Amino acid sequence: MTISTGDVIELTVKALSETSGHVIIQNVNNGQNFTQQVESSSALCEQNAGWNIGLVANDPNTWLPLAEFGTLTFTGAVATSNSGYNYGPKGADMIGEIKQNGQVLTSVSVDDNSVTINYV
C-alpha cells in the first residue's frame, strides 16, 4: 500500500466479538486498501477508542526522533457502541503532549468529531 504526503487515509476498526475484529486501511486518493482480521486470547473491554501518533523505539532503551509531520487531523473520529450511539473525542481524556529529551513536540485540539495533532 502506497501512502504519500497529503493523502487522505480512512481507517476502520471493528470489533466482531469480544476476541476478534478487523482493521481496514484505505487510501482514499489512490483507492488502495489493506484489510487484516485480528484475534486475541484476551477479551476486549469495548469501552475505549484512541486516535494517536507516537514515538517509536528501535531498541528497548532508545527512541527514534519524531518526524516533523506538521499537522495531522483525524476527521470522523467516532466510536460507535453496539446500540448504535456515536461517541466523539470532545470531552474525552486527552494525552496531548509528546515530549522527547524534555522538549514538548506536539499539541492536541479536539472538537465533536475530530482530533488535530500539531508538531510544534
The reported pTM is 0.69
Place of cell 489493506: 34
Q: What confidence score (pLDDT) does residue 28 get?
A: 94
> What is the spatial distance between Cα 82 and Cα 68, in angstroms, rounded to a whole number?
38
Mean pLDDT of the chain: 86
The per-residue pLDDT for range 12-67, each reduced to its tens digit, is: 888 888 899 999 999 999 999 999 999 999 988 777 777 767 777 788 778 888 88
Looking at the DSSP bridge assignments, the partners of residue 86 are: 80
Q: Give the fold, CATH level 3, of 51-120.
A: Jelly Rolls (2.60.120)
> What is the spatial distance between Cα 35 and Cα 85, in angstroms, rounded to a whole number?
25
Domain assignments of the chain as residue spans, ordered by start = 1-42, 51-120
DSSP the chain: ----TT--EEEEEEESSSSEEEEEEEETTT--EEEEEEE-SSPP-S----------EEETTEEPPPP---EEEEES--EE-TTS-EE-STTS------EETTEE-EEEEE-SSEEEEEE-
95 pLDDT above the threshold of 80? no
- Measure the N-to-C terminal CA separation of the chain; round to a whole number of Å: 29
Q: At residue 99, what is the residue type?
A: K
> What is the spatial distance between Cα 119 and Cα 69, in angstroms, rounded to a whole number?
6
Q: What confidence score (pLDDT) does residue 91 get?
A: 79
Q: What confidence score (pLDDT) does residue 92 get?
A: 79
